[in-house]
Structure 1
Amino acid sequence: MAKVTLDRLRKVYPNGYVGVDGASFEIADGELLVLVGPSGCGKSTLLRMIAGLEAITSGDLHIGERRVNDVAPKDRDIAMVFQSYALYPHMTVAENLGFGLKLRGLKKEEIDRQVREAAATLELESLLDRKPAALSGGQRQRVALGRALVRKPQVFLLDEPLSNLDAKLRASTRVQIARLHRQLGATMVYVTHDQVEAMTLGQRIVVLDKGRIQQIDTPMALYSRPANLFVATFLGSPRMNLLQGEIGERDGGLDLSLADGVHLSLHPDAESVPRVREFAGRRLTVGLRPEDLHLADAAPGRLSARVETVEPVGSEAFLNLDCGGHEIVVRVPPRDLPHPGATVHLRHDPDHLHYFDPESGRNLHG
C-alpha cells in the first residue's frame, strides 16, 4: 500500500469553471479517507484526478514517492469501484473476479487461488458459479469490490459505490467495506454525498463545497467543532439548529436576543468570549445540535417554542418547533410526546453552543 499526497491540486475546465481549487492534504498509508460534499462540490473530480481519469491543471500528485501527474491510469497501481457495478453479464462471478488477472497473464492456478481468497473475504464462495443477473444489488457490489481486491493495488478508489442500493443493503455493505479495510490495512479513498456514510466509514473526512476544501478532520471532531456554517449544517441529521439574533448584556452575562422577546443565554468558553463580545450590538448566528436541547419546565433563561409537528421514528422522536420565528428540531426520547400546537420549554447546555460570524460563516471558536 502507499500514501497519497496532493499538493495544491487544481482543475480548471476549458470554459473557465474551477472544479477543484487548490486541494492539499495527505492520505496516510493504510488510511480510509472519505471525500464528502453536495453534488457538484468537486469530490468525484478529485477522485478522478487521483485515478488519472481527469487531467490535472496545476499542482502535484504523488502516490508513494512517485509523482504521477502524467502517468497513465493503468500504470498508477490503483483500483476503482464505481457506482455502477460494471460487471460482465455473460461471465460468472468467478470469471468476473479473475478477468483482470487473466489479462495480466497469470496462470490459471494462481488466478483460481486469488479468486478463492477474494471470494472468502467477501463471503462470495457460494456465488462463484452464478452470473450477475442472478445476484442481488449488494452481491453485485461485493463482486465489484472483489474484482478490485484481487489486483492488490497500492490504492483503492471508491466512487459512491453504494448509491444504487436500498437503505438496508447500504448499511450492511458499508459494514463489509469497513471490515475489509481493517483486514487489508489498505489505503482507500471513498467518495460519497451521504454524510452518514462519511461519518461511519471515514477515519478522516475531507468536506468539500464548490471545489474548495472546507475542513479535514476525524468524524467526531468535524461534528463537535465545525470550522464554518457549511460544515456545521452539512454534517448531522437532523441538521444543526441555527438561531440568529443580536448580542447583548443580560443579568451580568451575554445573551442572544431573538424575535418576540425570546432570549438565549450564552456562556462562551474563555477562548471564545472576546470574539463573541466583538459582536455586541450586532447580529450573531448561534448553533445547537438537536440532541443539545431538552424539554424542561418554564424558567428564566429558557426558550419557549410552539410544537409544529412530531416525528416518532422508533428509538427516538424529533420535535419540529417554532421558536421566535426560528425553525428548530429537538431530538427527544419517544415517550410522553407533546402534541402539535402545544407550547414547550427548552433548556440547553451552554458548553455545546457554536458561534458563527453570519457574514463569513466562520466558527468564532477558531
Structure 2
Amino acid sequence: MATVSLDNVRKVYPDGQLAIAGASFDIGDGELLVLVGPSGCGKTTLLRMIAGLETVSAGTLRIGGRVVNDVAPKDRDIAMVFQNYALYPHMTVAENLGFSLRLRGTPRAEIAQRVDEIARLLELEQRLDARPAALSGGQRQRVALGRAMVRQPAVFLLDEPLSNLDARLRQSMRVEIARLHRRFGTTTVYVTHDQVEAMTLGQRIVVLDRGAIQQIDTPMKLYECPANLFVAGFLGSPAMNLLRGTLHAGDGLALATAGGTIPLGAPPQMDALDGWRDREVILGLRPEDLHPLAADDPAAALEARLEVLEPVGNEVILHLRHGDLPLVARTPPGIACAPGETMHLGIALQRLHFFDPRDGARIG
C-alpha cells in the first residue's frame, strides 16, 4: 500500500490541447478515491498519468513518497484494470490470473498458491480451466480484477471497469469491489462517468470538468454542499432543479422568476445573501426537497403543472412546469394527481442552494 500525491500536475499535448490543468491532491494510504466527470473531462488522462502511460507535462507525481514522473509503468508498483478486460483469449482463467507473476519470475508454487487464493475469493475456482470466451461478462470482469490483485500492488487503478456490464451486474460488481477494498485495504483510484458508482464506492470523490478539478470531498458533502453549478447539476439523479430569478427581501426572502414569485422565508444563508438583494441569483432545489401539498396548505410555496409522472416502485418522479420553468420532484408512491393538473408544492427551506449566475460559484 502507498500514498499517491499530485502537486500541480498538468498535461498539455503537442498540439497545445490542455488536458489536465494543475491537479493537486493527495490519496491516502488505503483510500478508495474516485475520479468522476463527463466524457472528455480528463479523468482517464489523469489515471493514465498516475500509471505512467501518459507523460507529465509539468508538476510532481509521487507514489509512496517517491517521485515517479520519469519512472516506467512496470516500476511503479501499480496494477491497472481496463474497461475492455484485456484478457488473453488463448489462455485459461488460471493462466490469465498468473501471467504477470510468471513474467516477474515468481516461483511456480507461489503462483499456484496466489492464483488459488484469488480464485476462491472471487468465486472463480470452478472456472480456472475455462477460457475467456466461455465466461459471462461478470466472470471476465472478476478475472481482470483478480489478475491485478494477484500481484499485490501498492496501488490499484481502475478505468471504468464496469461500463461494459448490464445494470444488474454493475450493481453486484460495485458491491464486490467495495468488499474487496475493505478486505485488502489497497490504495485505489477508480475512474467512472457514472455518478452512482462514484457516490457508492468513493470514500472521497474528485469532480472534474474540462481538465480542471471542480471539487474534492466525501460523497455526501458533495451532494449536500456543491461548490458550484457544475457539481450541483452533475451529482444527483434526477439532477438538481436550477431556477434563475431576482432575490427580493420583505417578510423573509423571495425569488422572482419567470414563472412567478417563490417565497423562501429565512434560509440558513441569510447573512451571506444580504449583499444579493435585488440582484439575480440561481436557486438550486433537489427533487426530494419539493413536496406536494394541499391547495389550502399555507406552506405551499409555488404552483406547477404536472406533465409526466414516472412511477419507479418505491418512489415517483414528477416532471412539472412552473410557468415556463421545468421542475422535477421526487415523492413517495400514491400521488393523487394526473398529468395536466396543477400541483401545489412546498419547499424544504433549510436545504436551499444559491449560486452566482456569473461564475456559478456557491453563495454562502
Q: Corresponding residue for 1:117?
A: 117
Residue of structure 1 in register with 2:316 after alignment: 317
Per the alignment, residue 295 of structure 1 pairs with 292
- Map of 2:347 onto structure 1: 348
SS at match of 2:168: helix
Larger deviation: 114-123 or 272-281?
272-281
Deviation at 1:311, TM superposition (A): 0.5
Pairing of 1:1-366 with structure 2 (within 5 A): 1-250=1-250, 252-269=251-268, 272-298=269-295, 299-300=297-298, 302-365=301-364
How many angstroms does 1:264 deviate by? 3.1
**Are the counterparts in 1 of residues 32 and 188 from structure 2 also a CA contact under 8 Å?**
yes
Does the residue aligned with 2:306 lie in a helix, a strand or coil? Answer: strand
User: Is the CA contact 1:195–1:236 (under 8 Å) kept in the aligned structure 2?
Assistant: yes
State the AA in 2 paired with 1:282.
R
- CA 260–115 in structure 1, closer or farther in 2 if over 3 Å, else same: closer
Letter of the aligned partner of 2:224 in structure 1? Answer: S
How many angstroms apart in 2 are the aligned matches of 1:103 and 1:337?
Answer: 65
Secondary structure of 2:5's aligned partner: strand
SS at 2:6 equivalent: strand
Distance apart, 1:274 and its partner CA: 3.3
Maintained 8 Å contact 2:247/2:276: yes
Identical counterparts, % of pairs: 64
CA contact (8 A) 2:259 2:322 kept: no
Q: Quick one: distance in 2 between partners of 1:264 and 1:283?
A: 15
8 Å contact 2:254–2:263 — kept in the other structure? yes
Give the letter for the 2:333 counterpart: P
Amino acid corresponding to residue 296 of structure 1 in structure 2: L
Decide whether the 8 Å contact of 1:206 with 1:216 is kept in 2.
Answer: yes
CA distance in structure 2 between the aligned counterparts of 1:110 and 1:226, rounded to whole angstroms: 48
CA distance in 2, matches of 1:113, 1:79: 19
Q: TM-score, normalised by structure 1?
A: 0.97
2:273 aligned counterpart, secondary structure = helix
Q: Is the 8 A contact 1:262 1:304 kept in 2?
A: no
Counterparts of 1:110 and 1:229, CA distance in 2: 52
Structure 1 residue 260 displacement after superposition:
4.4
Report the alpha carbon displacement of residue 117 of structure 1 after superposing the two structures with TM.
0.8
Partners in 1 of 2:32 and 2:225 — Cα distance? 21
Q: Which letter does structure 2 place at the counterpart of 1:263? A: I
Shift of 1:275: 2.8
Alpha-carbon deviations, 1:14-58, whole Å to 9, x = none? Answer: 111110000000000000000000001010000000000000000
8 Å contact kept, 1:256–1:266 = no
Distance 1:261 1:121 in 2: 59
Q: Does the residue aligned with 2:277 lie in a helix, a strand or coil?
A: coil
User: 1:129, CA displacement in angstroms?
Assistant: 1.1
Alignment partner of 1:44: what SS? Answer: helix
Tell me, yes or no, if the aligned pair for 2:259 and 2:325 is still in contact at 8 Å: no
Farther off after superposition, 112-121 or 299-308: 299-308
Q: How far apart, in 2, do the equivalents of 1:336 and 1:190 lie?
A: 39
| C-alpha contact (below 8 Å) 1:296/1:347 kept by paired residues | yes
Find the aligned partners of 2:93 and 2:281 in 1 and give their Cα distance.
58
Measure the CA separation in 1 of the matches of 2:142 and 2:252: 57
Shift of 1:106: 1.5
Equivalent residues, number: 362
Counterpart of 1:47 in 2: which secondary structure? Answer: helix
Q: Report deviation, 1:348.
A: 1.1
Instruction: Please state whether the residue corresponding to 1:278 is helix, strand or coil.
Output: helix
1:243 and 1:276 mapped to 2: Cα distance? Answer: 16
Aligned counterparts of 1:288 and 1:186: Cα–Cα separation in 2 = 37
List structure 1 segments (4+ residues) > 6 angstroms apart after TM superposition. none
Contact kept? 2:94, 2:129, Cα under 8 Å: yes
SS in 1 for 2:54: coil
Deviations 1:254-310 (CA, angstroms, capped at 9, x unpaired) = 1101224332324231xx323322222221101010011101023456110000100
Kindly provide the amino acid, as one letter, of the partner of residue 241 in structure 2: N
The 8 Å contact of residues 247 and 279 in structure 1, kept in 2 or not, is answered as yes
Contact kept in structure 1, 2:44 and 2:159, CA below 8 Å: yes
CA distance in 2 between partners of 1:316 and 1:267 (Å): 29
Please give the root-mean-square deviation of Cα atoms over the aligned residues, in Å. 1.0
